[in-house]
Amino acid sequence: MDQYLGSESERIKKHLERIELASRDGAEMVRRLQEFSRIRQETDFVSLNLNDIVHQAIEITMPRWKDQAQQRGATIHVIPELEDISVVNGNAGELREVLTNLLFNAVDALTHGGQILVRTRTVRDQVHLEVKDTGIGMSKKVRDKIFNPFFTTKGSKSTGIGLSVSYGIITRHGGAIDVKSEEGKGTTFVIKLPVAREIRVKEEVIPEIKEIKGANILAIDDEELVLEVLSEMATFLGHRITTASNAKEGLKIFEDSLKVRLPFQRFDMVLTDLGMPGISGWQIAQAIKSLGY
């Protein structure tokens, strides 16, 4: 019994670490989007190993390439081939975002399953990071536009800024990103970053603790573990949280809250999983907006 509880604790800890890492990267992405048109300096660069970034990005994207793919009847294998490489100077959150974008694009290209190879190696004074998939590939017309802002072939389910932001990040790191692709023959992205000429040590910043006014939160997710983690985190931070295990239940709870006359009993925030059976998170957001919220 103790052994079971121990393994369960480790599993929950791993999920929490993944959520924390993704949350920090999400906050970093929002900050960069707000500064999209500004010139930024390299003050946040530290020395890092791209192999660590690869392992973290694979963990973060696992629900997409493993769980969601299996739900639609596809099997996707992500295979890391990581050599002993030189360190580079960069921002870990930004580089994780780039690799996450490339992995998500590869998953979307593997409509019937397949393989994603992630390879690293040092080539003279550069570190190369390669993401190669066995998916549907791209035509030359599409390939020539993929780094253009807001260009997408995925319709309304994509903003079209992922690859353009990635291009900007790699350029700011003094590197380059290339793509090779043919229709029906898969796609290969290659990121080339300069080897670090000086070691930059990350300074520990102790966050300032501020008093936070409790919010009223609705969380919608079909994963019980995710709801449990969100509930514990929100309650610990002094928020009030209501959970729903599916979209229909969540929308009913939200609609009922609008009938309450007391403003503090209405929801300040809705957290929802994007990929759920039946009604997706995007559709939940559209339904909430349609209610004039």
Give the domains, in start order, of the chain with CATH numbers. 10-194 (3.30.565.10), 216-290 (3.40.50.2300)
Question: 3-state DSSP call for residue 192?
Answer: strand
Cβ within 8 Å of residue 55, ≥6 positions away: 80
Lookup result for tokens 């599916």? 246
Are 195 and 87 in contact by the 8 Å Cβ rule? The answer is yes
Residues 4-37 have pLDDT tens digits of: 445 666 777 777 777 766 666 555 555 555 544 4
Give the per-residue pLDDT at 83. Answer: 96
Q: Is the pTM of this model over 0.75?
A: no
Give the per-residue pLDDT at 1. Answer: 46
Distance CA 30, CA 208 (A): 20
Give the per-residue pLDDT at 64. Answer: 85
Give the per-residue pLDDT at 191. Answer: 96
Q: Which residues of the chain have pLDDT under 70?
A: 1-9, 20-43, 149-161, 202-213, 260-265, 292-293
Give the per-residue pLDDT at 192. Answer: 97
Cα-based angle 237, 240, 242 (whole degrees, multiple of 5): 125
Give the per-residue pLDDT at 130. Answer: 97
Give the per-residue pLDDT at 38. Answer: 46
Give the per-residue pLDDT at 226. Answer: 81
Distance CA 98, CA 175 (A): 12
Lookup result for tokens 């309304």? 156
Are 177 and 105 in contact by the 8 Å Cβ rule? The answer is no
Give the per-residue pLDDT at 154. Answer: 62
Are 91 and 45 in contact by the 8 Å Cβ rule? The answer is yes
